[in-house]
Chains A and B, each alone.
Chain A
Amino acid sequence: MRYFNNPEAMIKLIAAMQDGFANTLAIFFLTLLFSIPLGMVVALLRMSRRRMISVPVSLYILVMRGTPLMLQIFAIYFAIPMLLGQNLDRMAATILAFSLNYAAYFAEIFRGGMMSIPVGQHEACQVLGFTKIQAFFHVVLPQVCKRVLLPVSNEVITLVKDTSLANIIAVSELFRAAKNEASRTASVEPLFVAGLFYLAMNGVVTLVFSYLTRRFDYYKD
């Protein structure tokens, strides 16, 4: 063993991986920032009664969920420069691909959440004179949040690990940094250290979601 029994080497390894880790965190947070609101919009469009809207949106969801995220990252990184004649920053391409992909998953989770709200809630809003927008923000959305917490936590945990896919277009994220160290020192140990990083991140994610679940515990449906 080169690292696990040598604290000094371990500290050096972690230092070598810290930029990668920062990039991983950036991909993670920016993806959540963009994909959750986008997912809500996609869900609403998917539920539109106009087929002109709902059919193309279903198609979008099918493509995003039906093809590998790795392929989507490639496609965006190489296709956008061809279409726009302008190079795209690796990080920007990654975040765009992740946001579009995760928005599709979140959209279906949100759609499920919205469809699970009893029709009586909408009727109550209607007879009380709420506008559609008031009903959505004051009655539907707060209840959807509680209902989707569990499936959303699943996606967020998957996202933590999926960030490693960015390394295929040479974004220097955590896994790439670990791989570099591994080949430089001819040891697999850096990969396991990276594994511990992902595990720790997901530990935090789990804590955050159990906190949120408790926050929403003040009522039962």
Chain B
Amino acid sequence: MLQAINVKKSFGETGVLKGVSMRVSRGEVVAIIGRSGSGKSTLLRCMNNLETIDSGEIRIGGEPLVTTGADGKPVYKRDRELRTLMLKMGMVFQDYNLFPHCSVLRNLVMPQTLVLRRSAEEAKSKALSLLEKVGLLEKANEYPCNLSGGQCQRVAIARALCMDPDILCFDEPTSALDPQLTHEVLSVIRALADEKRTMIVVTHEMNFARDVADRVIYMENGLIVEDGPARDVLGSSRSEAIRAFAGEANY
């Protein structure tokens, strides 16, 4: 479904991704964990084309988002094709990035009508059903500034779902939230996992990673150090590196 092959990326002199390969299969929930600066968010952003890579290859549903050309430089898909391909990916950001000038409903309707050319009625009924799913139907006509962080994040999840992505990505979706609000967002993500949605979650929530993810990837210094079933990576047989990290993360 999604494949990254030997992805390298540096910001100036500092290498952030030093040759990362991973794959995600249909219906799989993958949690990416690691310290701040380990490259986990950058990896997710590269896969969503929010950062460009220096070399390597990323494939979405078998189609290449980027490959490395003969000259060693990355070759990206362009314009329309690129946008069409990226619609297979959905992204939920740490700080929601809702459109503040649009009501909750409009946040969900506008991308559908503009990008997917859905009719206003179709877009609205889709939006309302997703708002119901995240438990915010009564907030449809509110503006984001009147919602709590947890509510904003649930709206952002609903907005991403409106576009029917094949793979839904979360970039530290609860890092800006207090424990109570974290809980309400995580239960929405958990419900999506139960539907067998393909998801990649960059997170600091170790319990969540262990409970919800099928697979856990642990990154350190721009490399994947561990990649395996959640119970192996985070379970009793976990490696020294994870033990140290998890200990710090109060696990």
Measured CB to CB, the residues of A under 8 A from B are: 118, 120-121, 123-124, 126-131, 134, 138-139, 142-143, 146, 218-221
CA distance A146 to B114 in the complex (A): 23
What is the 8 Å Cβ interface bit string for chain B, positions 81-94, against chain A (1 contact, 0 not)? Answer: 00110110111010
Chain B proximity of A42: nearest CB distance (Å): 24
A to B CB contacts below 8 Å, 5 in the list: A124-B93, A128-B115, A128-B159, A139-B101, A219-B101
Contact B101 A143 (CB under 8 A): yes
A-contact bits for B78-113, CB 8 A (1 contact / 0 none): 000001101101110101011111000000001100
Q: Is the CB of B86 within 8 A of A129?
A: yes
Out of A129, A130, A134, A146, name the residue touching B101 (CB < 8 Å): A146
**Is B249 interfacial (CB-CB < 8 Å)?**
no
Extra inter-chain contacts (19) besides given A124-B97, A129-B163, CB under 8 Å? A121-B97, A123-B50, A124-B93, A126-B49, A126-B50, A127-B48, A127-B50, A128-B111, A128-B115, A128-B159, A128-B163, A129-B83, A129-B86, A129-B111, A138-B110, A142-B101, A143-B101, A219-B101, A219-B144
CB contacts (< 8 Å) of B120 on chain A: these are none
Chain B residues with Cβ below 8 Å from A129 are: 83-84, 86-87, 111, 115-116, 163
State whether the Cβ of B245 lies closer than 8 Å to any Cβ in chain A.
no
Provided the pairs A128-B159, A129-B86, A220-B145 are in contact, do residues A123 and B93 lie with their beta carbons within 8 angstroms? yes
Tell me the complex Cα distance, A219–B100, Å. Answer: 7
The answer to the question of B143 belonging to the interface, with a C-beta cut-off of 8 Å to chain A, is: yes
Evaluate contact between A221 and B100: CB separation under 8 angstroms: yes
Chain B contacts for A126, CB-based, 8 A: 49-50, 86
Q: Which residues of A contact B98 (CB under 8 A)?
A: 124
Contact residues of B between 32 and 54, Cβ < 8 Å to A: 48-50
Q: Which residue of A lies closest to B106 (CB)?
A: A138
Interface of chain A, helix or strand or loop or mixed? Answer: helix
> A120–B95 Cα gap in the complex (Å)?
8
Contact in complex: B143, A218 (CB < 8 Å) = yes
Shortest beta-carbon distance, A147 to chain B, in Å? 11
Give Cα A130 to B160, complex, Å: 13
Q: Give me the 5 closest cross-chain CB pairs, A-B, nearest first.
A: A124-B97, A120-B97, A127-B91, A129-B115, A128-B111
A139 pairs with B115, CB closer than 8 A? no
- Kindly identify which residue among A127, A128, A139, A221 contacts B145, using a CB–CB cutoff of 8 Å: A221
Asked if B48 contacts A219 (CB within 8 A), the reply is no
Complex contacts, B163 vs chain A, CB 8 Å: 128-129
In the complex, residue of chain B having the shortest beta-carbon distance to the beta carbon of A216: B101
CA distance A118 to B49 in the complex (A): 18
Name the residue of chain A whose CB is nearest to the CB of B98: A124
